[in-house]
Amino acid sequence: MIRIAAGSFRMGSDSHYPEEAPARRRSVGAFWIDIAPVTNRQFAAFVAETGYRTVAEQAIDPAVYPDLSRDEAGPGSLVFEKTAAPVDLSDVSQWWTFRHGVDWKHPLGPETGIDGIEDHPVVHVAYADAVAFAAWAGKALPTEVEWEFAARGGAEGDEFAWGEEIAPGGKMMANYWQGLFPFANQMLDGYERTSPVGAYPANGYGLLDMIGNVWEWTSDSYDAGISTRAGAAPRSCCTTQPGLGRAKLADTDARSGEPDIARKVIKGGSHLCAENHCRRYRPPARQAQAIDTSTSHIGFRCVVR
């Protein structure tokens, strides 16, 4: 872990997506934060010691989804699948598939494993899974303010965590999608999915993978009213919607027109963020994620206060 000294900074952005606005001054107390996202190796140690079973390894509660058949309610998680051609970017179901038998140790299907990717960020972890690991480790999940302060690395006004250019001198600084999402990934960074932690330079605080690779859970609940007041934000690569994943759907939120579900803020963008669709590989970027829905591009890191 690395200690981040107390300070203040300009959080958010008035220049990009509505949910990031308004930019405002925030203060942060001192805290320690993991240098990198929690890896498959670390999560495996947690499971080996505790016998923990993740949300994706458990069947969907029929009381929540009474219309699902027994087969449909089986354990699983959301997996990104590249499309063969351009698709409607407003419909995330074009590239997300709920696949049975997928979980943290079987990231692409029951026939797959984590051999060879032990040092990649663990994925297919729902919010409760991240909280359980943090408690076992004697830590906690960061708040959104802590996460963004750490991600900026002391460079408050820069566009990206490393400066003003996304790829200075052609150098890849993070794992994101190069090309047209979701069908043409040029893989200039060398990775189609996740990458091992530390494959890219650290930020000004010495932290790895704060941008790209995987989105990261925070402890903060998502305020839908922020984006509603600012205007409707375009859907990103990760936004959940009815019919996808395990999101508990209740009454529709009259302010946003979206399902009223329990959601937390995720930060940092992922390997699926692209110039033509989801430019959320920046410190102020934020998205809402249903707490019981795991995917192949969301992980987490921990803090100690």
Q: Which two tokens stand for residue 259?
A: 């399902």
Domains and CATH numbers, the chain: 1-305 (3.90.1580.10)
Weakest mean pLDDT among 58-67, 93-102, 198-207, 224-233 = 224-233
> What is the rounded distance in angstroms from the CA atom of residue 247 to the CA atom of residue 118?
28
Weakest mean pLDDT among 67-71, 121-125, 129-133, 146-150 = 67-71
DSSP 56: G
Phi and psi of 128, rounded to 5°? Answer: -60, -35
Judge whether residue 31 has pLDDT over 90.
yes
Name which residue leads in pLDDT, 142 or 261.
142
Name which residue leads in pLDDT, 219 or 93.
219
Confidence of residue 93 (pLDDT cuts 50, 70, 90): confident
Q: Which two tokens stand for residue 56?
A: 């994706």
How deeply is 215 buried, as exposed, middle or buried, from its count of CB atoms within 10 A (0-12, 13-18, 19+)?
Answer: buried
Element (H, E) at 3: strand 2-4
Judge whether residue 232 has pLDDT over 80.
no
> What is the rounded distance in angstroms from the CA atom of residue 81 to the CA atom of residue 93?
10
Judge whether residue 16 has pLDDT over 80.
yes
Residue with tokens 């972890």: 125
Neighbours of 148 (CB within 10 A): 27
- Sort residue 232 into left (φ over 0), alpha (ψ -120 to 50) or beta: beta
Q: Is beta strand 298-299 parallel, antiparallel or unpaired with respect to 215-221?
A: parallel
Judge whether residue 255 has pLDDT over 70.
no
Confidence of residue 224 (pLDDT cuts 50, 70, 90): low
Weakest mean pLDDT among 29-38, 147-156, 227-236, 268-277 = 227-236
pLDDT of residue 230: 35
pLDDT of residue 266: 96
Q: At what angle do helices 40-50 and 127-136 cross, to 10 degrees?
A: 70
pLDDT digits (tens, 9 = 90+) for 266-295: 999 999 999 898 889 999 999 999 898 899
DSSP 121: B
pTM higher than 0.75: yes
- Taking a C-beta distance cutoff of 8 angstroms, is the pair 18, 232 a contact? yes
Judge whether residue 181 has pLDDT over 70.
yes
Confidence of residue 249 (pLDDT cuts 50, 70, 90): very low
pLDDT of residue 74: 83
> What is the rounded distance in angstroms from the CA atom of residue 282 to the CA atom of residue 155?
12
122: closest CA among 186, 199, 226, 38?
Answer: 38
Q: What is the mean pLDDT of the chain?
A: 87
DSSP 276: T
Judged by DSSP in three states, 110 sits in coil
Confidence of residue 238 (pLDDT cuts 50, 70, 90): low
